[in-house]
Amino acid sequence: MSISNLIVVKVGSNILVDQKKGLRLEVIANILKTLAKSVRQGDQILLVTSGAVKLGRFLLGNKEVSVNEAAAVGQMELNFQYQTAAKKAGLILGEILLARPHLLKREQFLKLQQTLDRFFNDKIIPLVNENDALVAGTEWTFGDNDSLATALAISLKAQKLIILSHVNGFYQGDPENNSENKVIPEVADVNRELMEYCGKAVSVGGRGGMVSKLKSIRICTAVGIEAMIINGLETANLELALAGQKVGTLFKARKFSGKISNRQRWLLAAKNSAGSLEVDDGAAAALRAGKSLLAVGVKKVYGTFKSGEIIELIDFQKEGIAFGIVDFSSDQVEDFLKSGSQHGKQLMHTDNIMILG
């Protein structure tokens, strides 16, 4: 790949669509005008947009229709308005609608990398959304566009992920419940304790929310990708973020001394799970020494995952130390821990473990 200075920008539903007035055309115009300046300065941009479902429901009079129908109707209008604004800004957009198999299947993953590489070489900005009209409600879905943006950032060796939200950044706690909660300007490590600040709420009108954003950012920063959450309704914020200025919340990329192979990027992008295993100090030391993970070194299971998925390994401080392909489901690992009879069972092979810097 010849991708060099790539920035992934993800735009949330709540800054694009007003439930009473419809699509905020001025927001789209400002985003593309700002991105045009960034492209002229030599950046490569990939734009992941939400909003099709929410816009589709608005256009259909907010009737109770399926996600598939709403997405199909909304996607037409959303892309038309993006295209109109892009022409005024002097940009060329290329629409790409994705489903999880485009990353799960190795051949499709490589094809996607090659296609996007050509886009960037020709100064075309990929406008990416999930193909909800076909895959919503199926196992082919990413679930939300935060996960999709993360997968693409990892796949394409992005330098930065910028998430445009309707909030000012990542808060100490829910600001709607307590006005004393303030934006945290910088986060050095995204761990489970930070996720606890967010509760389990899902953003109104979207399928993501802060928990989804943090789970996505956790993986990006772990492999050296800087991330930001900014308020996309504030006109100047995107330009400031692209210029490296302080705005919203900056999630610092962790130093990663090793080289991530393209196979590892594929696995992280295609098969990552929100689940994690907490290991003791002995297991952590063994992992860093190149050993496999045994059940005896696991102290706690977080979240749910299936056999063959990529999960994170964390220490007692809830800080990530590795990612790896787990050989058993979360339920099976829980059973091992409760019974104590499978302490010698291998949960991850060393060849399938990526140690973080």
Q: Determine, yes or no, domain membership for 264.
A: no
Residue 33's pLDDT is what? Answer: 97
Joined tokens for residue 210: 């802060």
Residue 86's pLDDT is what? Answer: 97
What CA–CA distance (Å, rounded) separates 347 from 327?
5
Over residues 34-91, the pLDDT tens digits come to 999 999 999 999 999 999 999 999 999 987 899 999 999 999 999 999 999 999 999 9
- Verify that 278 and 247 share a domain, yes or no: no
Among 17-21, 56-60, 139-143, 267-271, which is the least confidently predicted range? 267-271
Structural domain including 84 reads 6-251
- Verify that 159 and 284 share a domain, yes or no: no
Mean pLDDT within 319-326: 85
Is the pLDDT reported for residue 195 higher than 60? no
Q: Determine, yes or no, domain membership for 262.
A: no
Q: Determine, yes or no, domain membership for 208.
A: yes
What CA–CA distance (Å, rounded) separates 235 from 181?
24
- Verify that 236 and 289 share a domain, yes or no: no
Place of tokens 């973080």: 356
Residue 136: exposure state from Cβ atoms within 10 A (0-12, 13-18, ≥19): buried
Residue 93: exposure state from Cβ atoms within 10 A (0-12, 13-18, ≥19): buried
Residue 274's pLDDT is what? Answer: 65
What CA–CA distance (Å, rounded) separates 25 from 356?
42
Confidence tier at 200 by pLDDT (50, 70, 90): very low
Closest CA to 299 of 311, 283, 286: 283
- Verify that 246 and 307 share a domain, yes or no: no
Q: How many domains does the structure of the chain reveal?
A: 2
- Verify that 165 and 229 share a domain, yes or no: yes
Cα 136 → chain centroid:
18
Is the pLDDT reported for residue 278 higher than 80? yes
pTM of the complete model: 0.83
Confidence tier at 320 by pLDDT (50, 70, 90): confident
Residue 322's pLDDT is what? Answer: 86
Confidence tier at 192 by pLDDT (50, 70, 90): low
Q: Determine, yes or no, domain membership for 238.
A: yes
Over residues 125-175, the pLDDT tens digits come to 999 999 999 998 887 888 789 889 999 999 999 999 999 999 999 887 777
Q: Determine, yes or no, domain membership for 259.
A: no
Q: Determine, yes or no, domain membership for 320.
A: yes
Residue 312's pLDDT is what? Answer: 85
Q: Is 239 helix (H, G, I), strand (E, B) or coil?
A: helix
- Verify that 234 and 174 share a domain, yes or no: yes
List of residues 6+ apart from 71 with CB closer than 8 A: 52, 53, 56, 132, 133, 136
Residue 306's pLDDT is what? Answer: 87
- Provide the CATH number for the domain around residue 283: 2.30.130.10
Is the pLDDT reported for residue 106 higher than 60? yes
HSE toward the beta carbon, residue 10, CA cutoff 13 A: 28
- Verify that 188 and 304 share a domain, yes or no: no
Confidence tier at 104 by pLDDT (50, 70, 90): confident
Domain boundary among 199, 219, 251: 251
Q: Determine, yes or no, domain membership for 260.
A: no
Q: What are phi and psi of 161, to 5 degrees?
A: -120, 125
Residue type, position 116, single letter:
L
- Verify that 204 and 293 share a domain, yes or no: no
Is the pLDDT reported for residue 22 higher than 90? yes
List of residues 6+ apart from 353 with CB closer than 8 A: 287, 292, 293, 313, 322, 323, 324, 325
- Verify that 243 and 134 share a domain, yes or no: yes
Q: What percent of the chain has pLDDT over 90?
A: 58
* Eight-class DSSP state of 144: S
Residue 201's pLDDT is what? Answer: 42
Q: Determine, yes or no, domain membership for 263.
A: no
Is the pLDDT reported for residue 204 higher than 50? no
Residue 206's pLDDT is what? Answer: 42
189 or 101, greater pLDDT: 101
What CA–CA distance (Å, rounded) separates 244 from 165?
18
